[in-house]
Amino acid sequence: MKFSEFLEWAKETIGAADPDFRQLSPDVMRSTNFFASGRMDSIQLMNVLLQAEEDFGFQFSEQAFQDRRLQTVYGMFEVISELKAGSYKGE
């Protein structure tokens, strides 16, 4: 999966919980920390991650659910890509 495709998915999925997220520039979307910016709480992030599992056909490991990279779109892309490739080693 390419990051541009993942970004479109994130824009729609995260945008469902935070409509203002759709208005951000791609660079800001890529690097915004969901928690520090107040865009999501842990329950909202968990819902996004569960949706990612369904949409992209993989499962988060217990360790991956705790990966701090999941706090940004790009970090989420990295973790998901690693899990799908079977190369996840943690943060």
Residue 81: per-residue pLDDT: 96
* Residue 84 near residue 56, CB atoms below 8 Å: yes
Q: Can you tell me the distance from the alpha carbon of 63 to that of 50, in angstroms, rounded to the nearest whole number?
A: 15
pLDDT tens digits along 51-88:
999 999 999 999 999 999 999 999 999 999 999 999 99
Residue 90: per-residue pLDDT: 84
* Residue 17 near residue 9, CB atoms below 8 Å: no
Residues 6+ apart with CB under 8 A from 60: 49, 53, 83
Model-level pTM? 0.92
Closest CA to 68 of 28, 23, 35: 35
* pLDDT at 91 exceeding the cut of 90: no
